[in-house]
Amino acid sequence: MNCALIMAGGKGTRFWPVSTEEKPKQFLKLLGNKSMLQMTVDRLEGYIDIEKVFICTSRKYIDLVKKQLPNIPDKNIIVEPFGMNTAPCIALSSILINKYYPNCNILVLPADHLVSKEDDFINVIKVASNYLINNKESIITFGIRPNRPETGYGYIKVNDGNCKGVSKAIKFVEKPNYENALKYLSSGNYLWNSGMFLWNSLYIIDLIREFLPNTYDALKGVISCKYEDLQTIIDNNYNKTDFISIDYGVMEKAESIYVIPCDFGWDDVGSWNSLERYAEKDENGNVFIANGITYNSSNNIILSRKPIVVNGVKDIIIVETEEYIMISSKSKEQEIKQAKEELDKIKYMEE
């Protein structure tokens, strides 16, 4: 039996100022008529029943989840009192899902990724599920064959990035600089780490108990509690968990990590430059979602609610909302998050 866990508690700061803490990018319609969260749930339709799809999110986003996913049962919305990185999120969710569906497989998905080849995606999940039938003490990761020297993703080293089945993962590599990313691309032995996993619920709980005992001890009261006491136990103990990612907390320590090289049109649409890969452009390469004109300008990303004239510039990002105007060079896009943090400090001091 397969269940799905969709992690939807992130703040989406790299898409600021359109993505805000009140409504982060997983709830936005960035690539069509549905939000990223809705698209993530939709691609599971026909393979995993909605009763077995769980959403882990922050308390402040409960209403957004219910509004966008009205068919999700209330018990399937797992509420973090505050963010503690992916390991506590996955630990809490795995314990709860196993409580409802003992000894199931859990497919873990971020809420804000793009998958354009949905049939190929489901076929890969089926391959992974079949592998787990006889190999329950395994973690299956989904590695994406890279097509550019991407510095914004983590990588997984494998023996052969062109194999079509399940193979042993050699090691996880953090986000590289451009030179190393180019080496990884040319070697053929590195895959992008998609952040998607499939594992048996009992096995991942055992690994969390082994490698993150503080987190397990903080959350083990969830195992036997009554439903009406559940959120109180979570709220009272979540601050005792380890603030750590699942990659650092478990993946880099466990031995039984396997990977399937994939090509199902995946992208972590986590930044303005990544959105540019899919948005419609004018004859000069501008993404222009606004009223107004571009003049002698090329390769820009422009979103504005007010009429705008863009003259004689290239390779910049301009985003205007009701509250902010953000202007950045595309090459420095990774610094938008840090710039937003500095702005928040200034606002806090003024208050």
Q: Of 115, 111, 110, nearest to 154 (Cα)?
A: 110
User: Helix, strand or coil for residue 308?
Assistant: strand
Residue pLDDT tens, the chain, 351 long: 899 999 998 877 778 888 888 889 899 988 888 999 999 999 999 999 999 999 999 999 999 999 999 999 999 999 999 988 999 999 999 999 999 999 999 999 999 899 999 999 999 999 999 999 999 999 999 999 999 998 888 999 998 777 778 999 998 988 899 999 999 999 999 999 999 999 999 999 999 999 999 999 999 999 999 999 999 999 999 999 999 999 999 998 998 999 999 999 998 887 788 888 888 899 999 999 899 999 999 999 999 989 999 999 999 999 999 889 999 999 888 888 888 888 888 865 555
Q: Of 216, 270, 248, 243, nearest to 14 (Cα)?
A: 270
CA distance 190 to 171: 10
Q: Is the dihedral of CA 146, 254, 95, 84 positive or negative?
A: negative
Q: Does the predicted TM-score (pTM) go above 0.85?
A: yes
Q: Of 176, 209, 214, 170, nearest to 189 (Cα)?
A: 170
What single letter denotes the amino acid at residue 302?
I
